């Protein structure tokens, strides 16, 4: 790839994989329009995740770009550990910013795209190129939400607010926690499209025709797989669970897959008759695009939940899980109610194409 070809730097938060999935979808859509585009990818999310999502011409830099929250499992945040990590991370290390800005300049990047990783905004300013913030929420809003109980978060919220507000271009994607009238673009959800047909995926899983599939997507619940055992007698459906298995395993009506299996997650969602999972950006977006009934687990204390749940109630077919963490398994009656819900066609186009068009203008293509 010629060094004269256009280049874009992309800073992505490593907090969960939802932001990486959104950024990867946008980068892939951008490279469809600009095949020569080079990407300087700055994140601790493995580059293989982006490549498996359709991105190419990547140069990866394993740099921690963000803190988010330190979590113990998908539902529990450790506030003291989060504050300690923020104390070490903020303000941004000047030497790190200078080093990354030098890389941005030397690689010919025309802009910096940030998926809620404000370090990228600081680097863009130091490099003298435009910064583009893509978000459905901002960390400063979230830290202020918890600041009454954890006052030390207030100062970090102030620091990050200044950086978020300094972005040259703001793009917001649904479901949006706080709408900003300064946004240059507001789009629908951004989700990775399926690549393989429903029938082919189901055959690869070994499912017989007519057998219903319930995908369990909780960020890896190998320790809880046995909590589904009380439904083992149900031959009319099976569960597919991402677990710690080294290779796919079938036990009764549970198919356990490795956390990073050869099955592309949007393909599994598209092949499912229903999904059980934690409410998070990429899961909500991909379930919405597939139109699949969603049994969703809510973190009631998390600031993202009201916008996410309101979106699901308006645009998706789903039911809240009585036990969000599946700590007591899931009731047969709940599964039957979920599977009885209709599939729903999404009401608006995916936002990736509109964002790619905006980014084309930002990089002068």
Which domains does the chain possess?
Answer: 7-190+351-362 (3.40.50.2000), 198-339 (3.40.50.2000)
Q: Per-residue pLDDT for 24 more than 80?
A: yes
Secondary structure class of 238 (helix, strand, coil): strand
Q: Under 8 Å CB-to-CB from 347, ≥6 apart: which residues?
A: 315
Per residue in 145-172, pLDDT tens?
999 999 999 999 999 999 999 999 999 9
Q: Say what angle helices 94-106 and 119-127 make with each other, to 10 degrees.
A: 60
Predicted local confidence at residue 223, as pLDDT = 44
Q: Under 8 Å CB-to-CB from 22, ≥6 apart: which residues?
A: 115, 134, 173, 190, 191, 281, 282, 285
Predicted local confidence at residue 219, as pLDDT = 57
State the pTM of this model: 0.92
- pLDDT above 70 as % of the chain: 93
Both structure tokens of 362: 């930002």
Q: Per-residue pLDDT for 135 more than 60?
A: yes
Predicted local confidence at residue 243, as pLDDT = 66
How far apart CA 62 and CA 43 sit, in angstroms, is 5
Per residue in 257-300, pLDDT tens?
887 788 999 999 999 999 998 898 999 999 999 999 999 988 88
Mean pLDDT, residues 343-350 taken together = 90
Q: Per-residue pLDDT for 222 more than 50?
A: no
Greatest mean pLDDT among 23-37, 219-233, 327-341 lies in 23-37
Predicted local confidence at residue 1, as pLDDT = 47
Predicted local confidence at residue 197, as pLDDT = 95
Question: How many CB atoms within 10 Å of residue 273?
Answer: 18
Both structure tokens of 333: 């009656």
Task: Give the residue among 160, 103, 147, 101 at the shortest CA–CA distance from 126.
Answer: 101
Predicted local confidence at residue 76, as pLDDT = 78
181: left (phi over 0), alpha (psi -120 to 50) or beta: alpha
Give the residue with greater pLDDT, 73 vs 292: 292
How far apart CA 335 and CA 214 sit, in angstroms, is 9
Half-sphere exposure of residue 19: CA atoms within 13 angstroms, side-chain side = 28
Share the mean pLDDT of the chain: 91
Predicted local confidence at residue 220, as pLDDT = 47
């Amino acid at each position: 790839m010629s060094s004269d070809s256009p280049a874009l730097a992309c800073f992505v938060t490593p907090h969960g994989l939802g932001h990486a999935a959104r950024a990867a979808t946008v980068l892939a859509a951008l490279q469809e329009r600009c095949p020569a585009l080079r990407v300087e990818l700055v994140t601790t999310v493995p580059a293989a995740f982006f490549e498996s999502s359709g991105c190419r011409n990547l140069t990866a830099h394993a740099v921690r770009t963000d803190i988010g929250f330190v979590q113990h499992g998908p539902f529990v945040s450790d506030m003291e550990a989060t504050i300690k990590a923020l104390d070490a991370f903020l303000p941004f290390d000047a030497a790190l910013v200078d080093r990354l800005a030098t890389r941005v300049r030397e690689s010919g990047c025309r802009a910096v795209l940030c998926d809620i990783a404000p370090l990228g905004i600081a680097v863009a300013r130091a490099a003298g190129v435009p910064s583009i913030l893509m978000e459905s929420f901002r960390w400063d809003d979230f830290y202020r939400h918890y600041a009454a109980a954890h006052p030390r978060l207030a100062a970090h919220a102030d620091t990050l607010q200044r950086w978020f507000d300094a972005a040259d271009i703001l793009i917001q994607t649904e479901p949006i926690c706080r709408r900003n009238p300064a946004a240059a673009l507001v789009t629908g959800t951004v989700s990775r499209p399926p690549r393989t047909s429903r029938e082919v995926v189901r055959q690869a899983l070994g499912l017989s025709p007519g057998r219903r599939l319930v995908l369990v997507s909780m960020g890896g619940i190998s320790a809880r797989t046995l909590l589904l055992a009380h439904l083992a007698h149900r031959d009319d459906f099976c569960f597919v669970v991402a677990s710690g298995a080294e290779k796919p395993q079938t036990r009764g009506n549970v198919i356990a897959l490795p956390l990073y299996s050869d099955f592309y997650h949007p393909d599994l969602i598209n092949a499912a008759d229903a999904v059980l999972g934690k409410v998070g950006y990429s899961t909500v977006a991909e379930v919405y695009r597939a139109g699949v009934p969603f049994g969703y687990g809510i973190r009631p204390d998390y600031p993202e939940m009201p916008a996410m749940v309101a979106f699901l109630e308006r645009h998706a077919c789903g039911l809240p899980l009585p036990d969000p963490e599946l700590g007591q398994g899931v009731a047969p009656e709940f599964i039957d109610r979920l599977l009885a819900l209709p599939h729903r066609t999404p009401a608006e186009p995916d936002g990736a194409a509109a964002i790619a068009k905006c980014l084309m203008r930002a990089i002068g293509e």
